[in-house]
Amino acid sequence: MVMSAGRTFERVLLRPVVSEKSYAGMAAGRYVFRCHPSANKVEIRRAVEEAFAEQKITVIDVNTINVRGKTRQRTRGRTRVSGESSGWKKAIVTLGPGQKIEGLFEGV
C-alpha cells in the first residue's frame, strides 16, 4: 500500500472532519478529510479509494482548501500572550451517486 512519493494513505489522509456541515454533506455523498499539507488532489483521490478499497468506492471529484491558522490572544495576569494555531489542508471528496463510506466515524 505505497503511494507516490513514498507516502501511504495513512500519511495523506490524517482524519475525517467532524462538524455539522460535514455531516450535512454526507447526505449528498461529500466527505470532508483533514489532509497532509503537501498532498495534491490526485494523491487524495488515490488515498480515499485505497483506504476504503473493500467498499469499492469511486471518487468523482476532489476539492481542496488551505485553512489558515487563527491568531489568539489571552492575558496572564498583566501580560498579554499571543499565539497562532497552525494551518491545515481540508479535502472535500465527492463519491459516485448512491455510494457511502460505512463506518467512517466509528471510534471518533
63: containing domain: 7-95
Domain annotation covers residue 107: no
Say what the pTM is: 0.79
In this structure, is residue 100 part of a structural domain? no
Q: Which residues of 72-107 are buried (b: 16+ CB within 10 A; e: fewer)?
A: eeeeeeeeeeeeeeeebbebbbbbeeeeebeeeeee
How would residue 2 be classed by pLDDT, with cut points 50, 70 and 90?
very low
CATH of the domain at 17: 3.30.70.330
What does DSSP assign to residue 46?
H
- The residues near 29 (Cβ < 8 Å, ≥ 6 apart) are 94, 95, 96, 97, 98, 99, 100
pLDDT, tens only, 50-78: 888 888 899 999 999 999 999 988 888 88
Please report the pLDDT score of residue 105 as a whole number: 66
Q: Residue 1 has what pLDDT?
A: 43
**What is the domain count for the chain?**
1
Q: How far apart, in whole angstroms, are the C-alpha atoms of residue 11 and residue 35?
A: 8
